Amino acid sequence: MDAVRSIFEPELLARLRRENILADTVSGFRMRFADGASVWALFHQTGPAQDEEQTWEWDWQHTQMAVELPSAVRTPGPITAVSTLPVMDPIGEQHLQPFIPPLSMLAREGASWPRTKRSALELKDYLSILPRFQHLFPKNERPHQEAGFKFAAKAGDLSEANGELHQHHGDDLSQSSRVLPEYLPSGWKQIVDLLSWVESCKDDSVCVIDEPERHLHPLLQRALIAELAVLSSRKRLQLIIATHSPSFLNHRAWGRDVAVFHLLGGHIVREPDITAILDQLGCVASDLCQSNGVVWVEGPSDRIYINAFLRAWRSQRAPHKSPLIENVHFSYAFFDGSCLVHFSGLTSPSSSSFNGDDAALLEQVGDGTEQQPEDLIQLLRLNRNAAICIDCDNDFAIDDFGSLIASNTLGRTKLRVSTELAGTGMDPIHITDGYTMECYVAEVMPRGFLQVSAGRVAVGGSKVQFALRFSRLSDSVIATCFERHPGLCNFVRKLDSAIEQWNG
């Protein structure tokens, strides 16, 4: 980090050298830029290796630097600089002065955070930045007694009054309360300081950020990542971040290309496998807790369809919202047809409605009849935030009132699980209107996509390959499925809303 910072803060070269270095050892660094420019520096002792008496020369370190300008700039060769840095005595500006001209010719803008010279934050910084995180503020709302009166302010709204910061609390929207910035939580103050600093950085800068996750709740870390991603894209910034946070290491959270590096045996190594980094950080699965929410589906093709539906929903119905990202905002789990008999939608096994129909199904699929309610896998214990999509298949009929009636043992198991989940307040729970998810997309797929035989509907080819083909259609075409199938539209709308709630 200090090597990168030294490009625009030459005084940090003093930090990079090793105070006591072997006479036959050289330390240093080299950095290359996309435009062909590069910079390198070397540090080594000035005393000879055989100098057992260690004369005065050992009090100095010989330092060399070379700067190669971008390939578009023609120069006869690298621009070099040489100086000696005192080992024990303070390093003054005169020692670093030879390195400043070549670094300035490199013409690289950059800055580092935390700031070396921190100035007091201004009121406008709080008013412009904190509202972006208002959805994470404590709401402490309660019903208001003034019947028919609508307040202009919402819970958490910030404003300026008499040159001071004020906030409206949810339990009394008729007035605001003064909030002294120095009394704000450390995390909120840090976010304001960091984002105001990033906004002040010049466009096309290299920005070095050291451990931005300090003092921050995981939800707040993810919200900060989203803000940093937007700012860095708009200002064309290159962010170099030192972190120990799994949230910051998750490249999907950034929505853009991210390279993860770590130090291995004295060398900086690019690590494509995030699990290796987490192992080195000492993280175990229980530290990471769980996904923000799980969408249970029968198989891989359902996952592909639902991802396409969610993408099209945001694009066509909620374009002001950011896309939902799998494995960042939610994850999938598969239950695969008749395996659903092994699951319960309740958190207490003793209250499960597991019955003779389920036992009969177990016997039918060859799993015996010894399973008891306490043996069931409890969906909500795996993740308390969940949604489920179940294929209708030929397992249901419709009564005179439009309600589903199970027509076989598997249908009764599907109804049992969905009823148990509904009893916990979980939503959405969806049983497809047609035979499978594929029935929602038949109109926009090639002729022969679905084949009907003896009341069963089958895909005329690989289900996954057809699902991938559907996912590559434009969002506007995919969105026509919502208009043709109100049940699908209602499910995707509820799922989009649920995932948003899971993520705070």
**What CATH number should be reported for the domain whose range is 112-140+153-258?**
3.40.50
| Chain segment 129-146, per-residue pLDDT in tens | 999 988 887 666 665 555
Contacts for 395-398: CB closer than 8 Å, 24+ residues apart: 396/431
Q: What is the pLDDT of residue 139?
A: 64
Q: Please check the confidence at residue 476 and state whether its pLDDT lies above 80.
A: yes
Domain boundaries, the chain: 2-108, 112-140+153-258, 294-502
Q: Please check the confidence at residue 171 and state whether its pLDDT lies above 70.
A: yes
Q: What is the pLDDT of residue 355?
A: 56
Q: What is the pLDDT of residue 344?
A: 85
Q: Coil, strand or helix: which one is 81?
A: strand
| Chain segment 26-64, per-residue pLDDT in tens | 888 888 888 888 998 888 876 555 556 656 566 777 888
Nearest CA among 295, 388, 289 for reference residue 333: 295
Mean pLDDT, residues 410-425 = 89
Q: What is the pLDDT of residue 208?
A: 94
Q: Please check the confidence at residue 256 and state whether its pLDDT lies above 90.
A: no
Mean pLDDT, residues 263-269 = 76
Q: Where are the alpha helices (DSSP H) in 236-348?
A: 246-249, 251-254, 274-280, 285-288, 300-317
Q: What is the pLDDT of residue 362?
A: 47
For every residue of 302-328, DSSP letters joined together read HHHHHHHHHHHHHHHH-TTSPPP-BTT
Strand pairing category for 429-431 and 386-390:
parallel
CB-facing half-sphere around the CA of 21: CA atoms within 13 A: 25
Q: What is the pLDDT of residue 363?
A: 46
Q: Please check the confidence at residue 273 and state whether its pLDDT lies above 60.
A: yes
Q: Please check the confidence at residue 196 and state whether its pLDDT lies above 90.
A: yes
pTM of the model: 0.65
3-state secondary structure 390-422: ECCCCCEEECCCCCEEECCHHHHHHHHHHHHHH
Strand pairing category for 164-169 and 206-210:
unpaired
Query: How far is C-alpha 112 from the geometric centre of its chain's CA atoms?
Result: 23
| Chain segment 1-19, per-residue pLDDT in tens | 888 888 888 888 877 877 6
Mean pLDDT, residues 211-228 = 89
At 377, the amino acid letter reads I
Q: Is 276 left (phi over 0), alpha (psi -120 to 50) or beta?
A: alpha
